[in-house]
């Protein structure tokens, strides 16, 4: 978790934004807590208690974060009886000890882009294809009956971890302008560090880039091809089996999306996202991953 100085430096030095334009640091902290709540389903401390235990202060659910300073606007922090600043979190910890004590492994990592600057963090508001696609690929559960935390729990039961390339919200218009090799190199290393810290990776774990192709996935994979020999975390970014045709995808509204399986050149990939084993089997006209793509990428039945 970044300190406020580190957070500010990343935006101002690496992304070139003036300090007054960067998103709220305290919202970033909240999102990191949401993510750790989800991660505790895999890597919970042995005592069965969550990493961030809640304490009610003045009617707010709060967590302790070392070195936290007061929010100058008084929105995201509150002072406890001991005089310590605590971060306000707007829900109780959603899982009981029996869930935290279950042995789970991370088998599949879906690497997205980032949370939007307006909020809608997937670890709290689990909406859209980034969570429905892996669930549909691995379960027969009726998703509309599940709330956010039940969906994340079911994903963890299937071994899926959702992880963003950028660990904070991003203004996508700014990102389009400022994404460059130096930024890709920095955040690739940060992503690798974050994955390396996980002590619950399955022996044969796998990954897939599912961020938008033109903003993140293609630039990142091109960078890995050039600077890392086409490898990420010791695993190849593509396989020859990518060229095996897959069936067209028919969405729930009867629309047909054509798979492109014969164009390996990054310069003319005409796709909306791409992934490790499916860089030539991605779907045109789709705004995110889907069930068929997830099955294709991870060789699921």
DSSP assignments along 88-156, one per residue: EESS---S-HHHHTS---EEEEEEE----TT---TTTS--SHHHHHHHHHH----GGG--HHHHHHHHH
pLDDT category, 117, cuts 50, 70, 90?
A: low
d(CA 288, CA 285): 9
- 152-164 average pLDDT score: 91
Are residue 91 and residue 206 in the same domain, yes or no?
no
Q: How many domains does the chain contain in total?
A: 2
β-sheet with 160-164: strand ranges across: 160-164, 106-112, 201-209
What residue numbers bound the domain in which 119 lies?
A: 105-298
Are residue 82 and residue 216 in the same domain, yes or no?
no
Q: What does the pLDDT read at residue 98?
A: 86
Q: What does the pLDDT read at residue 272?
A: 34
Say how far residue 282 (Cα) sits from the centre of its chain.
Answer: 19
Estimate the crossing angle of helix 291-298 against helix 129-138, to 10 degrees. Answer: 60
- Kindly state the tokens that stand for 258: 């054509």
- 92-111 pLDDT, tens digit each: 888 988 888 888 999 999 88
Contact (CB, 8 A) for 71 and 26 = yes
Are residue 201 and residue 53 in the same domain, yes or no?
no
Higher pLDDT, 82 or 249: 82
Are residue 133 and residue 27 in the same domain, yes or no?
no
Q: Which residues contact 122 (CB under 8 A, 6 or more apart)?
A: 112, 115, 128, 130, 131, 162
| 274 φ, ψ (degrees, to nearest 5) | -150, 165
Higher pLDDT, 14 or 233: 233
Of the candidate ranges 13-17, 52-56, 208-212, 274-278, the one whose mean pLDDT is the lowest: 274-278
> Facing residues of 249 across strands?
257
Are residue 162 and residue 32 in the same domain, yes or no?
no
Q: What does the pLDDT read at residue 240?
A: 38
pLDDT, mean over the chain: 77
Higher pLDDT, 132 or 57: 57
Are residue 142 and residue 29 in the same domain, yes or no?
no
- 113-141 average pLDDT score: 77
Q: Nearest-CA neighbor of 156 among 112, 95, 104, 195?
A: 104
pLDDT category, 17, cuts 50, 70, 90?
A: confident
- 66-75 average pLDDT score: 91
d(CA 189, CA 214): 20
Q: What does the pLDDT read at residue 228?
A: 86
- 192-222 pLDDT, tens digit each: 999 998 889 999 898 887 777 667 777 787 7
């Amino acid at each position: 978790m970044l300190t406020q100085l580190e957070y500010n430096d990343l935006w101002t030095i690496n992304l070139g934004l003036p300090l007054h334009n960067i998103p709220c640091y305290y919202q970033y902290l909240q999102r990191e807590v949401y993510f750790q709540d989800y991660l505790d389903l895999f890597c919970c401390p042995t005592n069965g208690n969550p990493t961030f235990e809640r304490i009610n202060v003045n009617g707010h659910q709060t967590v302790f974060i070392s070195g936290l300073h007061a929010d100058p606007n008084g929105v995201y922090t509150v002072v406890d009886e001991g005089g310590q600043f605590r971060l306000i979190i707007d829900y109780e910890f959603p899982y009981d000890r029996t869930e935290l004590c279950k042995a789970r492994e991370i088998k599949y990592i879906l690497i997205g882009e980032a949370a939007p600057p307006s909020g809608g963090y997937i670890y709290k508001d689990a909406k859209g294809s980034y969570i429905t696609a892996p669930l549909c690929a691995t379960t027969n559960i009726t998703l509309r009956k599940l709330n956010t935390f039940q969906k994340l729990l079911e994903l963890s039961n299937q071994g899926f971890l959702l992880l963003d390339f950028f660990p904070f919200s991003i203004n996508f218009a700014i990102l389009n302008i400022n994404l460059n090799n130096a930024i890709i190199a920095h955040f690739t290393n940060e992503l690798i560090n974050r994955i390396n810290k996980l002590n619950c990776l399955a022996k044969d774990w796998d990954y897939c880039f599912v961020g938008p192709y033109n903003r993140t996935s293609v630039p990142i994979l091109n960078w890995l091809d050039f600077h890392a020999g086409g490898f990420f975390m010791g695993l190849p970014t593509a396989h020859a089996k990518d060229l095996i045709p897959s069936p067209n995808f028919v969405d729930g509204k009867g629309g047909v999306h054509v798979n492109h399986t014969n164009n390996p050149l990054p310069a003319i990939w005409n796709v909306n996202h791409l992934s490790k084993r499916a860089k030539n089997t991605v779907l045109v006209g789709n705004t995110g991953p889907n069930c068929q793509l997830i099955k294709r990428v991870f060789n699921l039945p």
